[in-house]
A and B are shown apart, each in its own frame.
Chain A
């Protein structure tokens, strides 16, 4: 398996534009996580899906952020409109469900909003 695949790897956009980050989890994994990492706030869990259903989205900063998982092999995180404070590295991770299974992370998307 190629691992968790995120695209794009880097994104530079202007304030106010819509940004869509994409994630392909490992085949067979039924849990998917979106994280945001910044120097100031560390690694924050944004949203957690299990079997394509959002279980916890309490970490989503505000209504500008939305996430979908239309099927087991694809998820998106959308920011509309984007703001400079959204600049961060966004990670997608997938795993099997169960407390004893590790999460596998994608390479991350480095988002810069200017």
Chain B
């Protein structure tokens, strides 16, 4: 069975600092994708970044980067230069071929950026 674990229920970061949100996953499928989503207080789910299991380099999208450590089965999200608007829930998700490409989500991490 696929599983996504986010062990940090809540995190605080000072504005302009970097923060790392942890995500570990478990799958027996060598072919999978990892995703991060942001959910601000307004409620919408916003896709941030994707990492494929065969990608050699860590994914980056602006201030977001994904620290992908395949052997450790971790896919941590790094947000650089935090802004007040980054305060939100962040969800890690996985999609694997051997489970029909379903999306499995973690429980989320609530990030608060402090001015």
Residue total for B at the interface (Cβ-Cβ under 8 A): 25
Contact with A along B12-25 (1 / 0, CB 8 A): 00000000000000
Number of CB contacts from chain A to chain B under 8 A: 60
Question: Which residues of A are found within 8 Å of B47, using beta-carbon distances?
Answer: 102-104
Assess whether A99 is interfacial by the CB under 8 Å rule: yes
Assess whether A108 is interfacial by the CB under 8 Å rule: yes
A43 touches B91 (CB 8 A): yes
A105 touches B45 (CB 8 A): yes
B33 touches A100 (CB 8 A): yes
Within 8 A of A (CB), among B84-112: 91, 93, 95-97, 100-105, 107-108
Within 8 A of B (CB), among A60-114: 89, 91, 93, 95, 97-105, 107-108
A97 touches B43 (CB 8 A): no
Return the chain A residue nearest B46 by Cβ. A105
Question: Which residues of A are found within 8 Å of B43, using beta-carbon distances?
Answer: 89, 107-108
Contact (A100, B52) CB under 8 Å given A42-B108, A43-B108, A89-B43: yes
A99 touches B35 (CB 8 A): no
Return the chain B residue nearest A96 by Cβ. B101
Assess whether B31 is interfacial by the CB under 8 Å rule: yes
CB distance from B92 to the nearest CB of A (A): 11
Residue total for A at the interface (Cβ-Cβ under 8 A): 25
A99 touches B105 (CB 8 A): no
CB distance from B88 to the nearest CB of A (A): 14
CB distance from B102 to the nearest CB of A (A): 5
Counting chain A CB atoms within 10 Å of each CB, which of B37, B43, B52, B93 scores highest?
B43
Partner of A99, one of B31, B37, B44: B31
A91 touches B45 (CB 8 A): yes
B44 touches A55 (CB 8 A): no
B97 touches A99 (CB 8 A): yes
Counting chain A CB atoms within 10 Å of each CB, which of B93, B95, B108 scores highest?
B95
A97 touches B101 (CB 8 A): yes
B44 touches A48 (CB 8 A): no
